[in-house]
Structure 1
């Protein structure tokens, strides 16, 4: 078994390196912390390999120690250090090291470096033997090393290739061959840029050259257009060339992009609702929507049109206002030629209509030349709908062909729905105000009575106009009204559908509220001060009083809970979320049992909340603190998947941490660690 001498003056790193080597099947010879000890132990133990840190305590550093070992012993030395300074490289080259690994290095990287070093060392040793013996031993050892390295490289989940300094393949594993669509043996000896000329100039082409030139490991994730795939590359240079690990990460990237699109949609809708709430007139709402589409969502031009009774589409607002295109075109929503574009069809059909390439879209012919001159290459129209009838459209233009993807169409239609609801509400608001004014003028003698009524009516109208979730509340209100007024006239399935609508609306309302809470927690300025954990627990229990009563949960807390540095509302919300989960995620028929206790951790206090619930398997414990992460169906355990994200973010904003210890079926122990308040020294 290969024996390794570790030279490392950091005890933690030395111990970690020892465990990695043992896990890789190597024998641990000794661990020393200075250059003098390294030379002494190398002479005494004669290990197979020396892993040498450069910066060491003592009179000589790792480079000087490596030189002495090279002078007196025939032992390969590998540098393993966090220092990548050019001066170190220049000094280290004199000692002819077998490898130079940068911390942190993975076990696989260290193993490969050791095996390659052993292989190289064996080759050098064999050169000193007789020619016949050298040939026989070299042949045997080469085959053994080849099989061993081949086994390692073929067993890895990554594709792997090795290149020499002339950019020719010296090794290609089976997984790489499968990605290339070529047999590995056919590529060995071939020039990479000749075999794949389309790769020249791509980001990883430059990364390979940089790694070769600078002899520095490089990692990168890049999209490869010729294959329309994403790849992660890990490039490790050596004097012989490059060792390259890579694998397809397209699915991961697509998932990340989908999450980003969803977050962008939610943020845009929230921002749009906020902007709409700031507008108190019809024109103001229209201007806010078009400006949002350009400045936040990235289109080139946006204009809002209203369908008039005579078939024309009138311009309500546009952004940028200096663009003359919306004022120069004639658009209708009837069956005339001017009504066959995206705007007219969207209003007639009540559904989004888009053009992926205006240069080839014949339906756009009345405005074709003018649109191309403005630089537009794709367009879309989204209907403004009220009570099932389109009364206008949101019209967008982009300089990019195929800009309106399915995700963007969904986003813009949601924004158009928000705008439609706001415009309808402000119209109702204006109508109510006009009616109130008329009544005041006609019935002067009842001014006193009407004043109170008008005040209530204005307050109601203001609430309607500024309700950020008007579409959601309208859906919920209409469903409840239908159930109350016509429930007896519906069959069981109809009443079931109404119940589902109400439940879905309530669930979405809770989700929006949690998202707002998370967003506010992320952006709000938090001032930390000493906060009583006992007081925060009391507030949380009061908030959950109804839930505790329904479940019969038993919650106990240790007396004299200490103070921590925190933000009282945020801390109370964290505890409330953790207690709510502890009560909720319990097997059916089991009384929830919850314990609240603390642990002194020096300068910090750790708050523990323990339960007797269903528990969480280890592989899922890091996921549950992310937004929208749910381990169970909403039918089994209701919730939004945001509560623990709020816990994690709240602890982070207060300068602390949050986590969980759990096993499936054995309950969970959630913890929040925060700083202690500063102590006041007595004179």
Structure 2
């Protein structure tokens, strides 16, 4: 019975195939005929369309000729010539289309000469018009001739159209017949095939039912074997694998997954994944698992898991029983991708920020790939850049040097760098820095060159402007130097004259004073008994005034010689200078019971004599302008870096924060009578006194001398004071 069924099924199926093949062959033949008839129809329509074009061309040519004669515009003459050419072209096309139709070819033999004759008539009218010989009689004759030719052309055209329409009608009937035959053959063939297929289907269903029972047992055994093989495969793969049922419970966990999940596989079987790992609820992979189940499609997922401190790639496969998940740790590869992406992003940002044109060439320097940035810069097309075409945009005067340096870099496999002018898209030349780096293979041979063109036009213009400015400045400096030399010579001569005048003036002024003092003292000695008290008082006033005048002249002479008679600066020990000052002032110190303290003082670059005078004037003033209590004087110093030399810190001063490393700040602090704030700026003026000579002796030049000494040494001097408390004098000097 089973063998009989198989024979019936095979025979029925074979017969159905034969019928289908026969139907297919018949359908193919009908389709071929249909295509042939279709082409015939298209051909007929093409002939009719070309006839219309010929007729339209003749009418257009006559209109162009008529418009030219009426207006005289050359544009209409050009239109006439173009329409004439189109007519001849369409006649030629019509000849080709009707070459299989003898009747149409004969009609064309008549149509073409008539068209040519018509154009000869039109050309003759245009020629006569151009020669101003086209009178009314000639126009009428040409028009009558054209109307006669037009009538003949129309008769031929109608005959050709009638021929084509007749052909179109016959071909349409044949096409409809072919279609009807095709439909009948297809209908009969498919009906018979359908009946046979229904019979085959019924027999197959019966056979399938018999085989299904036999195969179910075999399938069960195969599934058991497949599960065993699958488990072996899943344990041998490097990916972690888990299987979950519809209730999100583990049904399988391989050893790799157990290691990543930090659980033994057998401990997870049958347990709910979201109860075992509640921290995953709501996360991206939680949503991906549910999406795969709902949409029944495979989902790939890459995600960072903070609890495992790594990137994991998951592939989720849904099924009717649940889902299967393959996942693996790809942290090293992900970190490399992130680093590469950041590097590329930085590279792109660098290129955009610096407005560079990046290019790539082969080992010899020829462009074999598209360089869009270079094309955008220069306006060249891709074909123009190929090979050595990129050199066409380099300035002709820079071309040889550019090519020579390039060949040298290729030969030495070194970095290529040059500056040249490049013609950019707007046609102007701009300066560019061209830099290329060779890319080598494992054998050390150049594979390609990668480089950039950086616009340095602004820098070159700035360099040119700076060069021009430097040249102009050099000329001005030379002129100014010559002028300063002349002024310096003049000042030198003037200073010498002033110094000589000061010496002569001081000598001539002191001589009378010495005479006055001497004779006054002789009078006091010789005639002492004859003078009363008033006369003695007058004599004393005369001697004191002469001595003050002498001191004043000596101080003026010393003040004028600070800048002219000073010594060369040398490294001077301030401690030794201060020791000498205290020796010079020891009588005043002893008389006032002054207490003088000091910090360790540094070496400075100074004129030792003037430095001694500076300290002596300031300390002498501190002793002189004292209160009733013994004076307390302190000499301190601080370096420009902020380091204090002694134990005492300097009083607050804004200048302390502006000292350079090459400067030191000295201060001399006392507990004297102090100075009112409004006089602190005036005390350094020459002859400026704040007290009478009876209160405190002196000429009022001492602080002016101190200021001039400090300024000669490139420093500054100022004072801070509070009346009744004391005064602090500051001054700066250079260490080297």
Q: TM-score, normalised by structure 1?
A: 0.31
Higher-Rg member (1/2): 2
TM-score when normalising by structure 2: 0.29
Structure whose residues are more often strand by fraction:
1
Give the helix-richer structure, 1 or 2.
Answer: 2
